[in-house]
């Protein structure tokens, strides 16, 4: 394997005064790329993805989630689901704009963690808010649009999580697998609607607006790339 950074003095660029030219963006990018390819990068990301859950468990155990810990737990699990989904969508733009091909190694893990937080969000709602009464849960989904949107987003994430492994890619074939996983764009819009309608009751749209701007940028970049290829 070729070294990421060359230390051979013969190839070192010289400035007008004979001194070595300063290290440029290419060298910094190579260093970041090397760090992303390091064997410890994935375990570190795994631990980082677990940190929000660890903090929520600690907060619940030590009564630090406020006056309504059940609601805080449900909402914060939902927040981390959205953040994971947005980070997963950001991998491709960051990879291309920053020239960091190794970022793609982390997309699957982020996607699986996003689905895991979505499952915990749904479980917390069903257990802490509805007491696992499936009749009441079904009526609540039918009655409240934001609950319906949240459940729909989770249901659409389910086949993506189930086919996120190499065997599933081989079984489906790459073209069909890619077509299936494009559903993540619709899921992100549905998840944002869930968040907006959940906050509509308190007329608090500041945070959903931030998420909306970020999503518009992520999806807008993809539309721009598609248009420029034609």
**What is the distance between the alpha carbons of residues 191 and 48, in angstroms, rounded to a whole number?**
23
Reported as a single tens digit per residue, the pLDDT across 138-180 is 999 999 999 999 999 999 999 999 998 889 889 999 899 999 9
What predicted TM-score, i.e. pTM, was given to this entire model? 0.85
Reported as a single tens digit per residue, the pLDDT across 85-138 is 999 999 999 999 888 888 999 999 999 999 999 999 999 999 999 999 999 999
182-202 burial code (b ≥16 CB/10 A, e <16): eebeebbebbbbbbbbbbeee
Reported as a single tens digit per residue, the pLDDT across 187-202 is 999 999 999 999 887 7
Confidence category of residue 227, pLDDT binned at 50, 70, 90: confident
Checking if the pLDDT of 11 tops 70, the result is no
At 222 the pLDDT is: 92
Confidence category of residue 35, pLDDT binned at 50, 70, 90: confident
Checking if the pLDDT of 22 tops 70, the result is no
Confidence category of residue 27, pLDDT binned at 50, 70, 90: confident
Domain boundaries defined on the chain: 25-229
Structural tokens at position 220: 């807008």
At 57 the pLDDT is: 94
Burial class of residue 172 (count of CB atoms within 10 Å of its CB; 0-12, 13-18, 19+): middle
Instruction: Kindly state the percentage of the chain with pLDDT values over 70.
Output: 89
Contacts 24+ apart (CB under 8 A), 173-177: none
């Amino acid at each position: 394997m070729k070294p990421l950074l060359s230390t051979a003095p013969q190839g070192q660029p010289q400035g007008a005064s004979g001194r070595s030219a300063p290290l440029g963006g290419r060298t910094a990018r190579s260093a970041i790329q090397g760090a992303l390819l390091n064997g410890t990068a994935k375990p570190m990301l795994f631990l980082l993805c677990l940190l929000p859950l660890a903090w929520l468990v600690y907060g619940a155990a030590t009564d630090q989630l406020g006056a309504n810990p059940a609601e805080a737990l449900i909402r914060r699990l939902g927040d981390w689901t959205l953040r994971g989904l947005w980070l997963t969508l950001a991998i491709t733009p960051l990879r291309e704009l920053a020239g960091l091909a190794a970022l793609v190694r982390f997309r699957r893990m982020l996607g699986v963690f996003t689905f895991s937080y979505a499952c915990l969000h749904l479980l917390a709602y069903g257990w802490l808010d509805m007491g696992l009464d499936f009749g009441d849960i079904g009526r609540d989904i039918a009655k409240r649009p934001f609950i319906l949107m949240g459940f729909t987003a989770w249901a659409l994430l389910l086949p993506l999580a189930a086919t996120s492994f190499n065997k599933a890619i081989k079984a489906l074939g790459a073209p069909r697998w890619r077509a299936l996983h494009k559903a993540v764009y619709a899921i992100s819009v549905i998840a944002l609607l869930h968040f907006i309608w959940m906050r509509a009751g308190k007329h608090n749209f500041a945070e959903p607006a931030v998420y909306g701007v970020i999503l518009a940028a992520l999806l807008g970049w993809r539309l721009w790339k598609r248009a420029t290829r034609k």
